[in-house]
Amino acid sequence: MKTLVIVAHPGLHEGSRINRELTETVGHHPEVTVHDLYQRYPDGIIDIAAEQQLLLRHDRIVFHFPFWWYSSPPLLKHWFDEVLTFGWAYGPGGDKLRGKEWGVAVTTGGAAEAYGNAGYNRYTVEELTRPFEVTASLVGAVYLPVFTVHNAMQLTDEELRRHAEDFALHVTGAVRAG
């Protein structure tokens, strides 16, 4: 299965230890294409036709980003607004993404306990990423479980490697043995 990981992190190469490790680890898989939006579009001007062709060439699409203010960094929202056009992604004739798998992978600075009705943030990550799920439904994609890494800035090297391996398994649809 050909998988596209769309990464949206403006500081991926300068300072994001966890997101860089996740991206580099999954990028070593032959069936995975890593597409860094901030590297590709530093000016924010998106090549819609190129992005749509990229989507068509993949069976699974995973949006990977740090959780900022309960959402994604702004370029990813802009990407959705530009690329998922009426008549192509949804609406009459808009069936180009129908049946593709669609997922979200986020990193948070907070602990897992902070996400939930008893936690600081009051909602689970799954509840807070619901707009991505609804968008998948709108375009006819199959929504995958959310992949989350909490406490991103406090991870040990061993925890970081483990999360990166788990991310690669999640993205490729493989299952960890034992």
pLDDT at 176: 52
Residue 63 has φ and ψ, to the nearest 5°, of -95, 115
pLDDT at 30: 92
pLDDT at 54: 98
Tokens of 16: 């994001």
CATH code that applies to domain 3-172: 3.40.50.360
pLDDT at 15: 74
Q: What is the C-alpha to C-alpha distance for residues 155 and 65, in angstroms, rounded to an integer?
A: 17
Helix (H) or strand (E) holding 142: strand 142-143
Domain boundaries, given as residue ranges, for the chain: 3-172
pLDDT at 154: 86
Q: Whole-prediction pTM value?
A: 0.94
pLDDT at 33: 96
Parts of the chain with a pLDDT under 70: 175-178
